[in-house]
């Protein structure tokens, strides 16, 4: 193998640039040429390729977002679109790929491998931490720290006005952000997609008049919880408790931005380094992750098809500490 490509795909995550940097510098150290593919799968179809050198990734380890950009690409979802991408890659001499992204990005890489035999190593770049085959994903630590910082500020005003604040965090299908932010933010309630019946506990909490009128509360809500997010939950609480002073804050895409934490930079660097080594060993159609401190390879089929679960012990602990 003499030339590889690297691209970022799906939602951006803090640490993607650190990961690109590690891929480029590890590849060059091992005598490989590296091509940056801009805008993910759309860039493959458009032949939006740039040769990358060591200096190309200087001064980016601290930057959020992705210098390679990311974009949706409906054309790549079709066999014809993937065939066009494969032809462009082969014409450019690209023999292997490093994909930094989430579940959908892995699915695209798997299809490209199955149909056109282009070996690809996936790296888990998503703030949701929901990819099977790794304990942590790139961007997760930064996202939860951003959300906790916001909750600490909200807590100050909640305390001053004896208000209930519903704080919505990202997590359409998984509650990893919600549970971590809820615990570290001292929330009185945590609503996540994996847990049902949380409303009964909140009602039990607010049915005590003194809690409703004299104390402030922070409730963390994942956007994909059973009630449909913080706004829907706000309406439920106001209908039941008209006297309750409720405010809702939706943190939204602020969780995706910002300079990555040291932990995310180290994780991204380690995974990027290992991805290049995996390609050089002849691996393909696999994702690199870290489990219990060790580097592991997981097939794309398992990374996509198997579900990573929120630790039930954390959910139980959160309920105990919220009382």
Look up residue 189 and give its two tokens: 């309630």
Q: How far apart are CA 193 and CA 202, in angstroms?
A: 16
Q: Report yes or no: 267 and 126 within 8 Å, Cβ to Cβ.
A: no
Catalytic residue among 128, 141, 225, 264: 128
**What CATH number belongs to 3-139+260-305?**
3.40.50.450
Enter the tokens of residue 32: 């490989």
Hey, what are 317's tokens?
């602990």
**pTM confidence score:** 0.91
pLDDT tens, position by position, for the chain (323 residues)?
999 999 999 999 999 999 999 999 999 999 999 999 999 999 999 999 999 999 999 999 999 999 999 988 999 999 999 999 999 999 999 999 999 999 999 999 999 999 999 999 999 999 999 999 999 999 999 999 999 999 999 888 877 777 788 899 998 888 999 999 999 999 888 888 887 767 777 777 676 655 545 556 888 999 888 778 888 888 888 888 887 888 889 999 999 999 999 999 999 999 999 999 999 999 999 999 999 999 999 999 999 999 998 998 998 898 888 77
| C-alpha count within 13 angstroms, C-beta hemisphere, residue 199 | 15
CA 300 – CA 308 distance, rounded (Å): 14
Q: Identify the DSSP state of 308.
A: P
Contact criterion met (CB below 8 Å) for 36 and 287: no
CA 12 to the chain's CA centroid: 8
Alpha carbon 265 to chain centroid distance?
Answer: 14
Range 141-256 classified under CATH 3.40.50.460: yes
Please check whether the two domains, 3-139+260-305 and 141-256, share a CATH topology. yes
Backbone angles phi, psi at 52, to 5 degrees: -115, 140
Contacts of 16 (CB under 8 A, 6+ apart): 8, 65, 66, 68, 100, 125, 138, 139, 268
The structural domains of the chain, with segments of one domain joined by +, span 3-139+260-305, 141-256
Buried b (16+ CB within 10 A) or exposed e, 265-303: bebbbbbbbbbbebbbeebbbbbbbbeeeeeebbbbeeb
Q: DSSP secondary-structure letter at 75?
A: G
Residue 46 a catalytic site member: no
Beta-carbon-side half-sphere exposure of residue 24 (alpha carbons within 13 Å):
23
């Amino acid at each position: 193998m003499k030339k590889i490509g690297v691209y970022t795909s799906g939602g951006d995550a803090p640490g993607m640039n650190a990961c690109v940097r590690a891929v480029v510098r590890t590849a060059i150290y091992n005598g490989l040429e590296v091509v940056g593919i801009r805008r993910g799968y759309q860039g493959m179809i458009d032949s939006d390729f740039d040769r990358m050198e060591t200096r190309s990734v200087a001064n980016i380890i601290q930057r959020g977002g992705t210098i390679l950009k990311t974009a949706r690409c409906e054309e790549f979802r079709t066999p014809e679109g993937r065939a066009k991408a494969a032809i462009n890659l082969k014409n450019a001499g690209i023999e292997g790929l490093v994909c930094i992204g989430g579940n959908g990005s892995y699915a695209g890489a798997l299809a490209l491998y199955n149909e056109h035999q282009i070996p690809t190593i996936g790296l888990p770049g998503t703030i949701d931490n929901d990819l099977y085959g790794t304990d942590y994903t790139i961007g997760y630590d930064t996202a939860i720290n951003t959300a906790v910082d916001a909750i600490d500020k909200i807590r100050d005003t909640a305390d001053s006005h004896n208000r209930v604040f519903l704080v919505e965090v990202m997590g359409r299908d998984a509650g990893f952000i919600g549970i971590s932010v809820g615990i570290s933010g001292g929330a009185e309630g945590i609503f996540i997609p994996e847990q049902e019946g949380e409303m009964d506990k909140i009602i039990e909490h607010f049915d005590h008049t003194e809690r409703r009128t004299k104390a402030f509360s922070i409730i963390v809500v994942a956007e994909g919880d059973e009630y449909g997010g913080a706004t829907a939950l706000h309406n439920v609480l106001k209908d039941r408790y008209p006297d309750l002073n409720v405010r809702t804050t939706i943190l939204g895409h602020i969780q995706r931005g910002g300079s990555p934490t040291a932990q995310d930079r180290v994780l991204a660097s380690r995974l990027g380094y290992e991805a290049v080594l995996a390609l050089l060993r002849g691996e393909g159609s696999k994702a690199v992750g870290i489990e219990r401190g060790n580097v592991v390879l997981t097939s794309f089929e398992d990374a996509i098809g198997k579900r990573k679960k929120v630790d039930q012990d954390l959910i139980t602990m959160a309920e105990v500490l919220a009382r």
